[in-house]
A and B are shown apart, each in its own frame.
Chain A
Amino acid sequence: MCLMKNLAIKYFVDMQNMWYNQTYMNKTRAIIKYCVICVIVAIAVALCFVEFTFPFTNTKYVGCYQAIKNKMGIDLNGGVLAVYTVEPAENSVNLDTEVDATINRIKSTLSSKGYLEATVTKQGTNPNYKIRIEVPGMSETEEIMDAIGTPANIEFLEPSSDQNPSYDADKIFLKGDGLEGVEVVSEAAVTEKKDSTNYAIKLHFTDKGKRIFNDKVKDAAGKSLAIFSNKSLISAPQINSENAATLGLDGYVLITGSYTKEGAESFALQIESGMYTVGLEVSQMSYIPATLGEGAIMAGLIALAIGLLLIFVLMIVVYRDFGLIANLSLIIYTVIFVFCLAIIDSIQLTLPGIAGIILSIGMAVDAYILIFEQIKEEYRAGKRFAAATHAGFNKSIVTILDANVTTIIVSLILYCLSSGSIRGFAITLALGVGISMFVGLVITRALAKLYLYINPDNAKRANIKFNNHDNHEEVVETKPTVPQKRKLNMGGAK
């Protein structure tokens, strides 16, 4: 028995020595690791602001700051707001999908014209839908007309030998909903005429449209196919005799002719806008001036910088070493957040979005505060510093999850149901809270574990002291007279 006891004691002493050696070894290593982390973070922060061209390539790196500034929404940047009332077609089957299809088409048209920041949203309820289009940076209301075209119905009439056919509703065999897209291609690239400088319009059919189209034209070589828009003839191209039989079966058809690039583009736009499956009537069209000028954005940035600085100071004063960890995490959080804002296309920077950013920074700090307060409590309940730190992180997970998940739920519901800048707020908030949860529960935790290698036992360096005046009706927390010798849980270190 005695031998066993001695062996056990020897084992524990060995373990302890090993552990101390390891701590000593790890202390230097931990400090080095911290330095490396700081350098990486510093580089990441720098990457937010700098702009450069990659050597040997033409790829330009635009800093996050510039990228986000380019993505400012209509309320910050000014722009054109247009609201269209949807008029369902007479034979409309499923208005919801038709409206969605129209929205998608408007979106792709706008982005192909360079208005990448435009938002197109559905408002109202079936059958009284409205389509709201916001184009930041656009200065004239007419431009939006130029960009998305004057929506019109496109109709293909049965081929006839008449060079100048007149409109006849009975002869319509294919409408805009049979088309999938329109693009302008150079004739030289797609036809035999290699030296041609002309352009052609390529119509892409849906599967159904493909069949209907081929049925009508395969026996109609030499005749002309009339394309009407709003009951007026826009073009009557002749059907080529060589390929009439297979025309359209590849899923597309080319309209060739002596089109210049501009001519082809404007024709394509007409067809494209004619593809909107529902009728659109302008109900509101206005230029919205920018709410905030350049000065206001500068002011906002300065405020954010000073605010962050004050938070840093406050955290260091209240939590000392843990405050430093919190600050490092906060910087990491801000950098990740800013990169996400810059990268994700669907996020625009709007005034409500800025509110979302401020709020989510507040919530990130809140997570650190919750964790540190929990650690304090664990320490006062008798745990040693390292154990208290681990317990603090473990126990505050539930609180942080509950508080943040509700926020995410609320903002996701808002995102799904709202439009415009409120949507911007919801997505920014959800993203910010999500990232802050990740940083708080994973990165801060890892940083704190690393910190325990540097300072495994001195709670005072984290400003944690025993409360001498626990005079409430509390029994749970007793101050241990002799610090209990417990095996230190070093979080993975054995």
Chain B
Amino acid sequence: MKLIEKIKKSNFNFVRNGRWFFIAPAAILLLGIIMLAVLGFNLGLEFTGGTIVSVNADGVHSKVEIQEKMDTYNVKYTITEEQNTNGGNNYSIKFNADANQTTTITTELKDYFASDWQSSETIQASTTNETIVSVFWSILAALAGLIVYMLIRFKFTAGMATVLALAHDVLMICALMAIFQIEINASFIAAILTVMAYSINNSLVVFDRVRNYEKNNTENYTLEQIINRSINRTLGRSILTVATTLVTLLVLTVISLVMSLSSLIEFALPIIFGLIAGTYSSLFLIAPLYKQFETARLYAKQRKKTISD
């Protein structure tokens, strides 16, 4: 309850302290780029194509043994434990190798697992570059739509700040995925879209306040005061909203961890990263960004006026 009181009392200067809040994202981004250069993304089979071998998990070989066996092949692989249709557990070993190697590995594994062997399946990349490019373009088009809407309802500068905050959120997810080497699969695109929608929603609530205060600014508050007030007043709502959304996802992650369902963890983690990044940007980054844009806009306007005078 003390925390709630504190949030209610909050009177933090988000604009003045703005520059400090760029440090953490910049550090994460830098680390992400380094990890990306060294290890790259951990791309799932949806992107690369490959082979899935299913074996009985309750059989002769332990996970560690399987790992040792797979290490001898010098291919990229993942081992996950999954529930099969009969209620028992399966290890699914996913690896990506060229055609010749795949045949060798599959035959060898078949001998190795003997009666625990269940099936092998070669899949092609279902998410191709083409899909990613088309998703990218449709995201850009959606963002254009967003800016047009914000241009009508708010100010262009607010739209700019929203899009930049959004870019920050997407970059943060990508960086964190690279840092923690979490497998990126088809649901990753969904995660990015979810976070985009969430980030827009968050930013809009703040800008709605800003618009309100700007309209009824009888006390001649400065822009800085208006922005700070808007964020401080919506702080309770921001925290409560992110809490309600995070709750479901955290529960999902915990359950998936307990049941060792890797695909669900890979689904939930990027969204959790994104939600945190989205809340962070709508609290700490929007204020200084909007302040800068507005100042620049007003300055340009002023100068134009002076020249024409």
Interface residues of B in 64-119 (CB under 8 A from A): 82-85
For the complex formed, measure the closest distance between the CB of A297 and the CB atoms of chain B, giving whole angstroms.
10
Distance, CA A81 to CA B228, complexed state (A): 52
Q: Which of A130, A299, A421, A425 is close to B255, meaning CB atoms less than 8 Å apart? A: A299
Interface pair A355/B190, CB less than 8 Å apart? yes
A288/B84 contact (C-beta < 8 A), A296-B263, A417-B138 known: no
Q: Which of B55-63, B167-175, B232-240, B298-306 contacts A (4 or more CB under 8 A)?
A: B232-240
Asked if B201 is at the interface of the complex by the 8 Å CB criterion, the answer is yes
Q: Which residue of B lies closest to A470 (CB)?
A: B9
Q: Which of B84, B121, B149, B237 is close to A293, meaning CB atoms less than 8 Å apart? A: B84
Distance, CA A358 to CA B196, complexed state (A): 14
Asked if B179 is at the interface of the complex by the 8 Å CB criterion, the answer is no
Q: Which of B33-41, B140-148, B286-294 contacts A (4 or more CB under 8 A)?
A: B140-148
Interface pair B225/A410, CB less than 8 Å apart? no
Interface pair A407/B123, CB less than 8 Å apart? no
Interface pair A299/B197, CB less than 8 Å apart? no
Distance, CA A105 to CA B219, complexed state (A): 66
For the complex formed, measure the closest distance between the CB of B42 and the CB atoms of chain A, giving whole angstroms.
16
Chain A residues near B249: list those with CB within 8 A.
307, 358
Interface pair B237/A365, CB less than 8 Å apart? no
Interface residues of B in 250-271 (CB under 8 A from A): 251-252, 255-256, 259, 261, 263-264, 267, 271
A414/B185 contact (C-beta < 8 A), A292-B263, A409-B149 known: no
Asked if B205 is at the interface of the complex by the 8 Å CB criterion, the answer is yes
Interface pair B200/A406, CB less than 8 Å apart? yes
Asked if A13 is at the interface of the complex by the 8 Å CB criterion, the answer is no
Interface pair B252/A300, CB less than 8 Å apart? yes
Chain B residues near A302: list those with CB within 8 A.
251, 255
Chain A residues near B197: list those with CB within 8 A.
359, 407, 410-411, 429
Distance, CA A422 to CA B240, complexed state (A): 28
Asked if A6 is at the interface of the complex by the 8 Å CB criterion, the answer is no
Chain B residues near A124: list those with CB within 8 A.
130, 134
Interface pair A373/B237, CB less than 8 Å apart? yes
Q: Which of B187, B204, B264 is close to A299, meaning CB atoms less than 8 Å apart? A: B264
Chain A residues near B21: list those with CB within 8 A.
none
For the complex formed, measure the closest distance between the CB of B202 and the CB atoms of chain A, giving whole angstroms.
8
Distance, CA A178 to CA B85, complexed state (A): 48
Chain B residues near A147: list those with CB within 8 A.
none
Q: Which residue of A lies closest to B121 (CB)?
A: A289
Chain A residues near B205: list those with CB within 8 A.
366, 370, 399, 403
Distance, CA A369 to CA B123, complexed state (A): 46
Interface pair A293/B141, CB less than 8 Å apart? no
Interface pair B146/A300, CB less than 8 Å apart? no
Asked if B180 is at the interface of the complex by the 8 Å CB criterion, the answer is no
Asked if A294 is at the interface of the complex by the 8 Å CB criterion, the answer is yes
Distance, CA A306 to CA B250, complexed state (A): 10
Chain A residues near B200: list those with CB within 8 A.
403, 406-407, 410
Interface pair B193/A425, CB less than 8 Å apart? yes
Chain B residues near A410: list those with CB within 8 A.
142-143, 145-146, 196-197, 200
B8-22: CB near A (< 8 Å → 1, else 0) gives 110100000000000
The size bracket of the interface on A is: 35 or more
Interface pair A303/B252, CB less than 8 Å apart? yes
Distance, CA A429 to CA B153, complexed state (A): 22
For the complex formed, measure the closest distance between the CB of B239 and the CB atoms of chain A, giving whole angstroms.
10
Asked if B139 is at the interface of the complex by the 8 Å CB criterion, the answer is yes
Chain A residues near B139: list those with CB within 8 A.
414
The size bracket of the interface on B is: 35 or more
Q: Which residue of A lies closest to B264 (CB)?
A: A296
Asked if A474 is at the interface of the complex by the 8 Å CB criterion, the answer is yes
Distance, CA A293 to CA B185, complexed state (A): 16
Interface pair B229/A475, CB less than 8 Å apart? no
Asked if A123 is at the interface of the complex by the 8 Å CB criterion, the answer is yes
| Tally of A-B Cβ pairs under 8 angstroms | 220
Chain B residues near A315: list those with CB within 8 A.
244
Interface pair B134/A418, CB less than 8 Å apart? yes
Asked if A286 is at the interface of the complex by the 8 Å CB criterion, the answer is yes
Interface pair A422/B135, CB less than 8 Å apart? yes
Asked if B26 is at the interface of the complex by the 8 Å CB criterion, the answer is no
Q: Which of B131, B185, B204, B237 is close to A402, meaning CB atoms less than 8 Å apart? A: B204
A405/B149 contact (C-beta < 8 A), A362-B241, A414-B138, A469-B9 known: yes
Interface pair A402/B208, CB less than 8 Å apart? yes
Chain B residues near A418: list those with CB within 8 A.
134-135, 138
Asked if A351 is at the interface of the complex by the 8 Å CB criterion, the answer is yes
Q: Which of B142, B186, B204, B248 is close to A403, meaning CB atoms less than 8 Å apart? A: B204
Interface pair A284/B193, CB less than 8 Å apart? no
Chain B residues near A361: list those with CB within 8 A.
245, 248
Q: Which of B126, B189, B196, B245 is close to A362, meaning CB atoms less than 8 Å apart? A: B245
A342-379: CB near B (< 8 Å → 1, else 0) gives 00000000011011101101110110011001000100
Q: Which of A351, A413, A421, A476 is close to B142, meaning CB atoms less than 8 Å apart? A: A413
Interface residues of A in 99-139 (CB under 8 A from B): 123-124, 130
Q: Which of B137, B241, B271 is close to A369, meaning CB atoms less than 8 Å apart? A: B241
Chain B residues near A421: list those with CB within 8 A.
186, 190
For the complex formed, measure the closest distance between the CB of B273 and the CB atoms of chain A, giving whole angstroms.
13
Asked if A310 is at the interface of the complex by the 8 Å CB criterion, the answer is yes
Q: Which of B11, B236, B241 is close to A365, meaning CB atoms less than 8 Å apart? A: B241
Q: Which of B121, B186, B198, B208 is close to A287, meaning CB atoms less than 8 Å apart? A: B121
Interface pair A365/B244, CB less than 8 Å apart? yes
Distance, CA A365 to CA B149, complexed state (A): 24
Chain B residues near A284: list those with CB within 8 A.
124
Asked if A458 is at the interface of the complex by the 8 Å CB criterion, the answer is no
Q: Which of A130, A426, A467 is close to B8, meaning CB atoms less than 8 Å apart? A: A467
Chain A residues near B243: list those with CB within 8 A.
314
Interface pair A291/B263, CB less than 8 Å apart? yes
Asked if A308 is at the interface of the complex by the 8 Å CB criterion, the answer is yes
Chain B residues near A414: list those with CB within 8 A.
138-139, 142, 193
Distance, CA A124 to CA B130, complexed state (A): 8
Q: Which of A293, A409, A420 is close to B145, meaning CB atoms less than 8 Å apart? A: A409
Interface residues of B in 180-220 (CB under 8 A from A): 185-187, 189-191, 193-194, 196-198, 200-201, 204-205, 208, 219
Interface pair A311/B134, CB less than 8 Å apart? no
Chain B residues near A299: list those with CB within 8 A.
252, 255-256, 259, 261, 264
Q: Which residue of A lies closest to B207 (CB)?
A: A402
Q: Which residue of A lies closest to B270 (CB)?
A: A355
A314/B247 contact (C-beta < 8 A), A359-B197, A413-B138, A417-B137 known: yes
A and B contact pairs by CB, cutoff 8 A, 11 listed: A294-B85, A299-B252, A306-B255, A355-B190, A370-B205, A405-B149, A413-B145, A416-B138, A422-B193, A469-B5, A472-B229
Known A355-B194, A358-B248; 9 more pairs at CB < 8 Å: A124-B130, A289-B123, A304-B248, A310-B251, A358-B245, A402-B153, A410-B145, A421-B190, A429-B197
Residues of A at under 8 Å CB distance from B?
75, 81, 123-124, 130, 284, 286-289, 291-296, 299-300, 302-304, 306-308, 310-311, 314-315, 318, 351-352, 354-356, 358-359, 361-363, 365-366, 369-370, 373, 377, 398-399, 402-407, 409-411, 413-414, 416-422, 425-426, 429, 467, 469, 471-476
Q: Which 10 pairs show the lowest CB-CB distances between chains A and B?
A: A307-B248, A352-B190, A362-B245, A417-B138, A295-B83, A303-B252, A413-B142, A286-B124, A410-B142, A399-B208
